[in-house]
């Protein structure tokens, strides 16, 4: 993790959020867990990240209460899945806000077809006005009512994993 001050006691809630989520890998781990990846190998493969980096981020996200380790069987050694907690699921609006900015302001021409679409599963419309609120059916865009259609997954539209 980058060396910086402890911001967990800051009066500004943005700083307190960044104390947990101010690392870009942490944000992408939450993206992939909410997209359905749960196991170390799945996350490592999707993120293309070094084992040590991923281990540290997963441990930090568990300690901060965004993920919880759940053992799974069927392997020789005990292994764990990483499941999002309520606090972890509430990162979805942040991630969706990042995506709106990235699509609007940092899209190289070769990637213009890749805009992330956030669908409201309650009313079946694409959310285009807000990262966290469906303007059509007037309800929050929570993971359980949202689907992300990601550039690499046009043929695999699925609800966010909760």
Binding site for its own copies (CB under 8 A): 2, 4-5, 7-9, 11-25, 27-28, 31, 48, 64-65, 87, 90-91, 93-95, 97-108, 110-111, 114-116, 129-133, 135, 138, 140, 150-152
Backbone angles phi, psi at 27, to 5 degrees: -60, -45
Measured between alpha carbons, how far apart are the two ends of the chain, in Å? 27
The tally of CA atoms less than 13 A away on the side-chain side of residue 36 is 10
Q: Which of 70, 63, 111, 66 is nearest to 92 (CA)?
A: 66
The Cα 83–Cα 48 span in angstroms is 20
Least Å distance, CB 81 to its own copies, is 21
Q: Where are the alpha helices (DSSP H) in 35-123?
A: 40-47, 51-63, 86-89, 92-105
Least Å distance, CB 38 to its own copies, is 19
CB closer to its own copies, 16 vs 38? 16
* CA 42 to mean position of chain CA atoms: 14
Least Å distance, CB 72 to its own copies, is 26
Q: What are 111's two structure tokens? A: 């990637």
CB closer to its own copies, 3 vs 76? 3
Q: What are 113's two structure tokens? A: 């077809």
Least Å distance, CB 157 to its own copies, is 16
CB closer to its own copies, 18 vs 40? 18
CB closer to its own copies, 2 vs 74? 2
CB closer to its own copies, 57 vs 82? 57
Least Å distance, CB 89 to its own copies, is 10
């Amino acid at each position: 993790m980058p060396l910086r001050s402890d911001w967990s006691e800051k009066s500004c809630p943005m700083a307190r959020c960044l104390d947990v989520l101010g690392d870009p890998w942490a944000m992408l781990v939450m993206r992939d867990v909410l997209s359905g990846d749960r196991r170390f190998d799945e996350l490592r493969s999707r993120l293309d990240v070094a084992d040590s980096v991923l281990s540290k981020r997963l441990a930090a996200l568990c300690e901060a209460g965004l993920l919880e380790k759940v053992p799974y069987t069927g392997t020789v050694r005990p292994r764990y899945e990483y499941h999002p907690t309520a606090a972890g699921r509430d990162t979805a609006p942040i991630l969706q806000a990042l995506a709106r900015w990235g699509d609007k302001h940092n899209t190289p021409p070769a990637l213009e077809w890749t805009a992330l679409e956030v669908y409201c599963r309650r009313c079946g419309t694409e959310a285009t006005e807000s990262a966290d609120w469906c303007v059509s059916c007037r309800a929050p865009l929570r993971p359980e009512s949202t689907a992300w259609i990601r550039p690499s997954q046009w043929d695999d539209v699925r609800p966010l994993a909760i």
